Structure 1
């Protein structure tokens, strides 16, 4: 007993099974995770090391080289990239795809821990974070106030952080732009010099008094007492009362030499929202949670806090709310899905008639809801990739229902009862439907095997398509026959179907007969069409992923090396004022000294220096037609501001890249690398289409080198470490202990000079160094100050020194074209020995992604060929079926050329999908022709009869597939329109040519087949 007959006889069980499956899908739809982009992890980690006052070359030698050496010993390392600048090193390590993200992160932590003691003791921060696209802020808030001080803002920020982190689905809340507080012991250097007291002796006195050493315990009879000793400091007054020197009856206290205050550290990161002082809070969604539920939970907390806890002079504003974008995207995609459903329904009614069309249309929502339940079980949430998978599947899943319903309708017209027609009609085509579904699934399945970033990013899409197709197969072989058995007899053929049948028996038959008489001419014309379409490829261009249609921008401000924090702040305010003039701008979050908190899955803030700032600009529109003119205008205006390098960055789809165009200059000698990097910059400036050129290695800074007279220092018994430590204490301060206040808060005790509010050159005149005899010697008697020029920033790539030169691409230019133009220019350069360049950015990602897709396409073809060999028991007939694939390429290229889209990664996915879709039409023709030959027809009669009989279902399945994709395609999305046009164009052209060329090939090769 076959599955359709089983489903009809056990109809009660069938109804219950589908009711449960659909119920699972409905529940999953409302509860499954929702996010803007795919939430996935891959094996990568970022190590950030902060060591203030350390030159880039010293950072490389003391910090980067030891860490890179130990990381390079780990297994499965794919690449290591490092950015090095003054006092900061950011090391990113990425492992091969398919490795366990948690295990590799643990390996990185363990490797760094092994060498931690070998790294400089002056490191103030060493953080190791997992790089996860899912760790994106879904909500960025700002506590804004000009009246409140940072201690008050800190209290509210930390309270909000605790309350928000209790909300279900919130992974963590990060506080940004909140300056650290410290207890500053500001020494009056001249008074200390006059008393002969060195900074070292003051530091020793404070460190000794700040220690908290437990005294142990003592017994008195049967009782045991814990012994408390002096303990640590309990108040600022206790710090001030520290004895620095006691000579006879004269005691010198710390308060005699210093001011002790609880104050902010030297400015390193400050923020503003629309020009007002702000502290940011960024909430990260827990993986697998539902963004709308998380947002509702946070909104309850925020409203309660604003009403009951927040004073009137502090405002709580929303800087970025990702749930709005998710709602817009989901609404947009489901609009496309609903519109596609309506189009498919209309086409089905016109061609099949009302009753059969009802059965076909009923299969669509049933298959989709069943698939949604399975997608949820598979661990994939509802986001743009999975929804697009549903849209793609919409046009495919009706094919099964159409084939079954049409065959059942034919049996009804032949006089069978509804039950008999349902059983016989569905059973006859059960294997054809199953094999057709399998070949389509094989087209998408290899995408799951792509071991690269693009494959991981897209994975939810093929999973959704495959599960939806299997759901449609289940519906077609069980529920569709059951519904068809209740259909009743209908002899009336719809008008549209009669018209198609008239075309099949009229003009199509005439053209087919002519083609069968002239097979050579037909094949020659087809080959010329294919070659002609391939010549369009250079005009179409190649790209990876398009710009993200987001209502936000980033503006990066790079001040000259050596600029102070105040200079960067002033320049940021100037740029803010200019950007704010544009009506499309809603909010501007200014970050001085660091990048904005992470708000997009493929960007991460990494720079952390006083001469850098970043503006996060929120816009009132997301359409590229409105955003790109604003970007062009801003670039024209900002480039005219002297004294800073200002770049406007748009968000991009797909895996993370530093910039669309990236040239890596690698070598060992920094001066040679800098020279070549400057030549690359000059060539970029001459390449049309490039903008926002950045050459970090081209930035220089002037350092002051303290040239110590080592002989004189040795004669006076002064260790070099004492000189270094004293200079650091005088300029930026040295931690000498911890202070815990009455609320339990801990603060660093920092010893520094008080003559100037910030480190000044004049400070060197006041610095005195203790000799071995205890006397003080002016520093400038032991050393001289010599200016020297050094590199400000450079990078490593796989432990090799590198300068990374990057650029953005102007609208109207393709990244592939301008990159190739630039590379052609660079190949003419005479490079120094030991220096070479490689291409990174989008082109490197594209080659990796397209290489993975090419392997997927090859696996697809081999898998489908194997299925066809099993079905036809022939090696020749599958080749006839495969003749449809080149014609799909013709249509795809023509569609992209006329619509103006490039051959992007999503267009490549469309082409891969076509391989599985278009062969089904050929299968229908060849399979039916074989049946006719087995019934006694000649080759010519069999293929002619098969082509005419299958003309209507082939045209109908093509039209429904096109109808399902049309709304998404016409939406104009830079991401999905190329895929839609590739599938639609390829399907239309391949259908037209398949109806002619496949019969011609069948006629020519029939003698070599079993028939």
Structure 2
């Protein structure tokens, strides 16, 4: 390969090229996006339909079935998950990974539009939102006040929204927990009954008066005038002046009956459905979503400046702005931690290089590290990936690998200098001699990471930035090793040939102890191979003891407390329970802040958690802690589970945050069928089985709950005889209970409020309301509701789910510390397999196990592709099918060390450990390539096969040991950090490297002796 010689001869061009590449990396480092977690995207959408007062079965028939039927016709569907409950349906649509998110979202919108006219007219809300993991709040603020009205809080929240949205890098601002304000027309039921006015008559009068119908235009000569008709209501007084009835009616002859005569009109809060508190004080939340590609620290600087100005200029004394969550602090801590690991690894690699190679040769090696990293950062930025945990871990992994090429080149150049070559000749010969081995070694390592980029599943998308960073860093290191490293080495002169004490000792060990071991191994090849295979078999037997997992807990200083009250519980009772739970949680010394949400989940503050249910019998506490490390958090969670588990009248689940793609819960069993009663009965049995399984906590079975409804049984014959349409009965009942929108009132500031007709006797819907409801007959007389309808109690299912259009109950649970999700899930499956399943009912395993099978299946395919790709490269290099098999002998021995390291350290075989094993495939093959390639070179020079492989092993002993030590040194700080996410990967690579290096130096020469037939040369 002539590239090293060209780089040395054109040294000025080489220097300028690298200067420009490094400058690009430096600029990118300071400007590229930073985030806490991977900013990835996939094709998914969520459809939310609100139709108040509709039971779940009717929601399924009228809303869910038409929508699912339309969506199910779309291409590239992965799954459709639907939740159906009283008045609410949420449909989550996911498409295959790798499809275009924007195109698929447009397809969903089009599918919904096709069936929109088939849906009920009473739908009050139909939202279609695109799901994006990056669409997460980077900042959650709380406007806190005990004395200010919600109208004041609304004014300040909207003013803040407008100001913050003008900050560069802000995508949008969301306001949550702000009560809906409406103009309530509270009718005196007894008065209108006495006068003989029905609620339907009032509704028609107000609705017609509130209608704003443009009059058009008229011409007068050559002038054209726009005609303004009655228009909107201009004030609350104007609403009161609405004429409900005129003429002679029961003693009120000759005068009008105005709305103000029979109703109180006020701008007030609607019935409570979502309220919030922060640290026990009434609050409204303001959440900020960052624009993709922006720099979080720059965005937060602009937001903080805006907040400070607002506090000084506009904020009322009675209102305070508190910070619930600031992601930038976590990003800074996490990125700093990873860069600390990177810097510590860099120091370790530099120290090892200096000790073994000496100062000047080590200077050449260490120079390659920052140059490769900065060049790679520039390329990563151009690829569209930012700085976050995946990309930085990619740099840490690459740290130990990128010096391998430089070490091999420098060590070979130094050997030529010791043989008497000039500096230039040694640099050109030494680098050219190993250039193909270095290039193919780098390519094989790249190939071991490259298939990860092809994984079309959630885990692959989540991890994508890591292999991208590793691959780009390795290409940067190869470019440096073949151009800049020989150039610098040529300028060092004879100083690079000096042998250090450590190198002398390693060479003495190679010539002495190692040579004796190698000779014995070559004399007893059968014994060596037998022992090696026995070790491999023993290591594989450890696999069941190690256990399998997907992604660990997130080690965030945050937890969620979900409170589910019995079906039918009112808002006030849920609020009281949330206050009670908050008092218990606050007693934990690690607790810093508590954001209480009643009626809905907290705004989205983590990439794989979507806001929870929207119902008055649900509450959620978002708890921030002083620390996030698992040894501190897990005892708090365990204590809270113990204390809150004793509270009667509510199901309370404490949830920790998890890493990886979204998953409902670690353990999830889906009970699938058609008969809802059977599904419900079986789901309860499965929930009992899960609850008694050791290691499981927080079992949740939403479908296992009943609800009691009030059924209005209308006597249709009586209603027909009296000339009362069923629509009038339904409308009057709704008006009397929760109010009926009749139009819109717009105030002087342009704000719009619904006009809602209600009864004044009942501040909230009461059973006694039915006694006062009267409905107008065809003759105009009022008929009590009780005369034409009976009110009965009726039991029905509270809620249920669909999975790919099939009815389903999903039973979920968390896993206690000390247990693996795989073992616990298998224990549950073993028990439910013994259950007598009714005909037409079956189950499927979801949760982490389903994700893990998908992820590990993708990784297994990636590993197979990597192996075949590496084999193809080796066949091209060695022009032989046998010698690549010799090189591949290092791979199973890497598995020995990886499993042994995980077993000793107590980590499970997680997804990141699997990534470590995949990485090992490329890393350990490099050592074998160097050994076999050099043996082939010496055989071409006339040396016998046995002598060639023995000489190659002795000559390459030092660079192989040094590259192994530097790779381990680069990974050691991250591995020893104790991260549940990355330590398993580090230990897998370190253990695999240690054992594979030891066995490679013995087993590969033995196999070469057996199989190392020289390939044909051109």
In which range does the TM-score fall when normalised by the shorter chain?
Answer: over 0.9
CA drift at 1:222: 2.7
Asked whether the equivalents of residues 410 and 485 of structure 2 are also in contact (C-alpha less than 8 Å), the reply is yes
Asked whether the equivalents of residues 936 and 1014 of structure 2 are also in contact (C-alpha less than 8 Å), the reply is no
> What does residue 563 of structure 1 align with?
569
SS in 2 for 1:642: coil
Q: 2:841 aligns with which of 819, 822, 835?
A: 835
Q: Which aligned pairs between 1:584-623 and structure 2 lie closer than 5 A?
A: 584-623=590-629
C-alpha distance in 2, partners of 1:685/1:279? 37
> What does residue 218 of structure 2 align with?
218
SS in 2 for 1:908: helix
> What does residue 817 of structure 1 align with?
823
Q: 1:414 aligns with which of 414, 419, 431?
A: 419
CA drift at 1:1007: 4.7
SS in 2 for 1:193: helix
C-alpha distance in 2, partners of 1:396/1:699? 56
SS in 2 for 1:287: coil
Q: Which aligned pairs between 1:493-504 and structure 2 lie closer than 5 A?
A: 493-504=499-510
> What does residue 399 of structure 1 align with?
404
> What does residue 528 of structure 1 align with?
534
Asked whether the equivalents of residues 418 and 489 of structure 1 are also in contact (C-alpha less than 8 Å), the reply is yes
C-alpha distance in 2, partners of 1:320/1:782? 55
C-alpha distance in 1, partners of 2:981/2:514? 37
C-alpha distance in 2, partners of 1:269/1:634? 25
Cα offsets for 1:625-658 (capped at 9, x unmatched)? 1000100000000001111000000000001111
CA drift at 1:50: 1.1
Q: Does 1:550 align with 2:556?
A: yes
Q: Which aligned pairs between 1:94-493 and structure 2 lie closer than 5 A?
A: 94-248=94-248, 249-490=254-495, 491-493=497-499
> What does residue 642 of structure 1 align with?
648
SS in 1 for 2:768: helix
C-alpha distance in 1, partners of 2:240/2:474? 77
C-alpha distance in 1, partners of 2:605/2:223? 60
Q: Which aligned pairs between 1:750-789 and structure 2 lie closer than 5 A?
A: 750-789=756-795
SS in 2 for 1:613: strand
Q: 1:933 aligns with which of 923, 936, 939?
A: 939
SS in 1 for 2:980: coil
Q: 2:862 aligns with which of 836, 856, 861?
A: 856
Cα offsets for 1:663-719 (capped at 9, x unmatched)? 000000001001110110110111100000000011111001011111111111111
CA drift at 1:492: 2.8
Q: Does 1:992 align with 2:1002?
A: no
Cα offsets for 1:593-646 (capped at 9, x unmatched)? 000000000000131000000000000001001000100000000001111000
Cα offsets for 1:811-842 (capped at 9, x unmatched)? 00000000001000000000111000000000
CA drift at 1:19: 0.9
Q: Which aligned pairs between 1:654-665 and structure 2 lie closer than 5 A?
A: 654-665=660-671
CA drift at 1:234: 0.5
C-alpha distance in 2, partners of 1:6/1:219? 86
Asked whether the equivalents of residues 45 and 94 of structure 1 are also in contact (C-alpha less than 8 Å), the reply is yes
C-alpha distance in 1, partners of 2:932/2:370? 31
CA drift at 1:86: 1.1
C-alpha distance in 1, partners of 2:354/2:229? 91
> What does residue 7 of structure 1 align with?
7
> What does residue 573 of structure 1 align with?
579
SS in 2 for 1:761: coil
CA drift at 1:58: 1.2
C-alpha distance in 2, partners of 1:933/1:486? 32
CA drift at 1:937: 2.4
Which ranges of structure 1 fall in alignment gaps of 5 or more residues?
A: none
CA drift at 1:1006: 2.9
Farther off after superposition, 717-726 or 327-336: 717-726
CA drift at 1:326: 0.4
CA drift at 1:1009: 5.7
SS in 2 for 1:625: helix
C-alpha distance in 2, partners of 1:118/1:830? 40
Cα offsets for 1:124-164 (capped at 9, x unmatched)? 11111111000000000000000101000000000000000
Cα offsets for 1:410-456 (capped at 9, x unmatched)? 12212222222212211222111111110110000000000001000
> What does residue 684 of structure 2 align with?
678
Q: Does 1:1003 align with 2:1009?
A: yes
SS in 2 for 1:250: coil
Q: Which aligned pairs between 1:74-93 and structure 2 lie closer than 5 A?
A: 74-93=74-93
SS in 1 for 2:998: helix
SS in 1 for 2:492: coil
- TM-score by length of structure 2 reads 0.99
Q: 1:701 aligns with which of 698, 707, 718?
A: 707
C-alpha distance in 2, partners of 1:597/1:431? 55
> What does residue 30 of structure 1 align with?
30
Farther off after superposition, 290-299 or 116-125: 116-125
Asked whether the equivalents of residues 144 and 282 of structure 2 are also in contact (C-alpha less than 8 Å), the reply is yes
- TM-score by length of structure 1 reads 0.99
SS in 2 for 1:171: strand
Q: Which aligned pairs between 1:853-892 and structure 2 lie closer than 5 A?
A: 853-892=859-898
CA drift at 1:225: 2.1
C-alpha distance in 2, partners of 1:227/1:287? 48
C-alpha distance in 2, partners of 1:786/1:446? 63
Asked whether the equivalents of residues 876 and 1008 of structure 1 are also in contact (C-alpha less than 8 Å), the reply is no
SS in 2 for 1:927: helix
> What does residue 718 of structure 1 align with?
724
Which ranges of structure 2 fall in alignment gaps of 5 or more residues?
A: 249-253
> What does residue 967 of structure 2 align with?
961
C-alpha distance in 1, partners of 2:778/2:107? 47
Asked whether the equivalents of residues 90 and 606 of structure 1 are also in contact (C-alpha less than 8 Å), the reply is no
C-alpha distance in 1, partners of 2:16/2:739? 75
C-alpha distance in 2, partners of 1:182/1:768? 25
C-alpha distance in 1, partners of 2:1014/2:713? 90
C-alpha distance in 1, partners of 2:416/2:348? 27
Asked whether the equivalents of residues 895 and 985 of structure 1 are also in contact (C-alpha less than 8 Å), the reply is yes
CA drift at 1:14: 1.3
C-alpha distance in 2, partners of 1:944/1:428? 19
SS in 2 for 1:167: coil
Asked whether the equivalents of residues 594 and 612 of structure 1 are also in contact (C-alpha less than 8 Å), the reply is yes
Count of paired positions: 1011
> What does residue 251 of structure 2 align with?
none
CA drift at 1:193: 1.1
C-alpha distance in 2, partners of 1:365/1:222? 79
SS in 2 for 1:173: strand
C-alpha distance in 2, partners of 1:796/1:438? 47
Asked whether the equivalents of residues 244 and 254 of structure 1 are also in contact (C-alpha less than 8 Å), the reply is yes
CA drift at 1:223: 2.3
Farther off after superposition, 49-58 or 529-538: 49-58
C-alpha distance in 1, partners of 2:538/2:421? 51
Farther off after superposition, 404-413 or 913-922: 404-413
Quote the RMSD (CA, aligned, Å): 1.0
CA drift at 1:212: 1.3
Cα offsets for 1:79-103 (capped at 9, x unmatched)? 0001111111111000011111001
Q: 2:805 aligns with which of 795, 799, 807?
A: 799
